[in-house]
Amino acid sequence: MRVYLDNAATTPLDPEVIKVMCGVMESHFGNPSSIHAHGREGRTLVEKARKTVAALLHTSPAEIFFTGSGTEADNMAIRCGIIDNNIKHAITTQAEHHAVVHTLEAMEKTGVIKLSFVDIDEKGNISYEHLEELLKNNDRSFVSLMQANNEIGTLTDIERVGNLCEQYSAVFHCDTVQTMAHYPHVLNQLKVHFLTCAAHKFHGPKGVGFLYINHKIKISPLIYGGAQERNMRGGTENVYGIAGLAKALELAYADMDKHRDHIQGLKTYMIAQLQANVPDIQFNGEIAADKSLYTVLNVSFPETDIADMLLFKLDIAGISVSGGSACSSGTDIGSHVLTAIGASDSRPSVRFSFSKYNTKQEVDFVVQKLRELFA
């Protein structure tokens, strides 16, 4: 038996998405920038996908820009949002994704901005009081806060953040890579300037994402070249990837409540089974349903002499999981998120992340293997 519980790293493609993408690859190879019939077919597919995404998110197609990844979208929002609006101060947390933290730290290192970190507690919750203090005591700020932490799942109230940013005339960028297609986003009501997405986190293809740019803010491109994406992102469009993204988002929205109930049920079940079968475990981040991303469960296990080999032993046992963020796999620096919340560095931690394709039988299999390892 092989169990995949690393869906926060990437998800398997939905068969319906594969079908759509294969159809585009087989029949619509034209460059969308070409004016002939083959090019116009490609352009039609791209714009149809843009309209699909915009309709699901309750915004205008003119505010959706396709990118090559969520990381690119984050970089575009942060670098261009700060530089083009002459912002000198940025706010984030020590637990943000590296696409955000490393970008802001690089900009601080070169003297573009002063960077402040919002306090977070031992569960990864931000201090809204500290955020307001930072906003109040600095000139116009750029705020970059994710909706759900990709390692521990703790949710941030982005409506509250948006309201605070509006109150202090700050620019708000929200990384929704982990929450897009798992929660509804009503962008014509949410007070956010930038919002980012990666298709492969919700059963779409790798190599494609999008950046939402609120019409109230103006930026220049991050990538220059041709006039693609209405002069905002040079490079020939990934037509079949864009079509796949739109189809994956459409499928997710069609059955969002059903999938959420199923996945939350698996997570709740696994919490109970781990507590009953593995001694002395701790959960990192919030685990209550209203405070935590339902697809992610981060667990610290008892101190053990197999700590450095735990992921390897689980892999050998047929279980694919991650020891924190997949973006750091292959390194030995540990998890910056767990460090930020003060988790013990003597306990091995595992991130289990679920999708609509997982089952209770798989959870039982994983718990049994863990029980054997920690017997």
Give the CATH number for residue 356. 3.90.1150.10
Q: Are residues 164 and 269 in the same domain?
A: no
Amino acid 344: pLDDT: 86
Q: How far apart are CA 317 and CA 371, in angstroms?
A: 12
Residue 304 has pLDDT above 90, yes or no: no
Which pLDDT value is given to residue 60? 98
Residue span of the structural domain in which 319 resides:
3-11+256-373
Please tell me whether residues 214 and 278 are part of one structural domain: no
CA 235 vs CA 46, 104, 189, 321: distances in Å: 14, 25, 31, 34
For residue 327, indicate whether it is catalytic.
yes
Q: What is the per-residue pLDDT for 246?
A: 98
pTM score: 0.95
Given a cut of 90, whether residue 207 has pLDDT beyond it is: yes
Residues 248 and 165 in one domain: yes
* Domain identity same for 36 and 117: yes
Domains identified in the chain, total number = 2
Where does a domain end: 254, 283, 318?
254
- The span from the CA of 344 to the CA of 354, in Å, is 25
Q: Distances in Å between the alpha carbon of 39 and those of 45, 189, 236, 245?
A: 10, 36, 11, 20
- Of the residues 165, 174, 197, 327, only one is catalytic, namely 327
CA–centroid distance for 134 within its chain: 25
pLDDT in tens, 240-277: 999 999 999 999 999 999 999 999 999 999 999 999 99
Radius of gyration of the chain (CA): 21
pLDDT (0 to 100) of residue 328: 42
**pLDDT digits over 88-130, tens only?**
999 999 999 999 999 999 999 999 999 999 999 999 999 999 9
Phi then psi dihedrals of residue 360, to 5 deg: -65, -35
The answer to whether residues 280 and 241 belong to one domain is no
Phi, psi of 194 (to 5 degrees): -135, 145
Report pLDDT for 332.
54
Work out the burial of residue 239: count CB atoms within 10 Å of its CB; fewer than 13 is exposed, 13-18 middle, 19 or more buried: buried
Q: List pLDDT tens digits, range 70-87.
A: 999 999 999 999 999 999
Instruction: Specify whether 179 is located in the same domain as 313.
Output: no
Question: For residue 327, is pLDDT > 70?
Answer: no
Are residues 48 and 182 located together in one domain of the fold? yes
Which CATH number characterizes residue 116's domain?
3.40.640.10
